[in-house]
Structure formats: C-alpha cells, structure tokens
Amino acid sequence: MRRRARTRHRRPTLRPRSTRPATASALHGYAQKGPFLPGSRVTVIRLDALLYPTGATYLSETYGSLGEYDVGSLAAGLYQVEVTGQTRPEAPGAGPTPEITLRAIAAADDGGMITASVTAITHLTTPRIRVLVREGMDLDAAR
C-alpha cells in the first residue's frame, strides 16, 4: 500500500472588502475563569478573513476585580484576544493559581465600542470557529 505524499495547502489571496478607510473602535471586555488578577497580559491580534494573524498586535492588561480590559483605536476587522495570567482562586483559602492563557475571537465594526469576554467557553470554541470559517462558514454562524 502506497502512502500519499502530503501536499502543503496554500492560503488563498484575500482582497479587501472595501476601499474606504475604517474608523477606529474601542475593545472592552472581561477575562474570566474566576476573574483574572489585575495586571494579567492582554494581547489582541489582528486576523484576516480566514482568521490567520496579520502581524498587527496590540497590548494591554487587566484591571479591577472583574478581570476587565480595554484596548482602544482598533480598525474594523477580526481580532483574537488572548489573556495570560493568574486567576482568583475559586475555593476559599486556596493557594495561587497557575498562569493560564484563554482566547476569544472578536469582530470590530466601524466605530463604537466592542465587548469581548474571554472565558473557558470562548477558549474551547476558538479552534472550531477557525475550522468552520476556513471551510467557508460565516463568522456569526460559526459561533
């Protein structure tokens, strides 16, 4: 029995949807698996239409007791939000939690405020959303 040679798939060339400039949006959200402790790293990565990173990255950190974060001045488009840090212990008297990273995919429209919560559920669904979008499904339907 002969094995098939693996072929490397090429990413399709993407064309911009519009030639008009996008206006800035602000991204706000909560990072929770128990709230992330203040000072946890928030990395926002710009994605193309097939959810591949474009190279643009924005940094922030969580603040407050609810794991809140803010990132301002984002162009309209798709973003992956990653939060890395420690969370509040879920059991009273429990010791410090290990550092974890959770992810979510967010879509920013032209202008306004976008809210994107990063939770264990969004982290678990992110890989499946990527597969479905790359197979041609609309982002809203993939969610």
pLDDT of residue 21: 43
Burial class (CB in 10 A: 0-12, 13-18, 19+), 21: exposed
The whole-model pTM stands at 0.77
pLDDT of residue 18: 37
pLDDT of residue 17: 38
Q: pLDDT tens per residue, the chain (143 residues)?
A: 444 444 443 433 333 333 334 456 788 889 988 889 999 999 999 999 999 999 999 999 999 988 999 988 788 889 999 999 998 887 788 777 889 999 999 988 766 678 889 999 999 999 999 999 999 998 889 88
Token pair for residue 126? 């992110």
74's CB contacts (< 8 A; 6+ apart) are: 24, 25, 26, 27, 44, 58, 108, 114
pLDDT of residue 23: 53
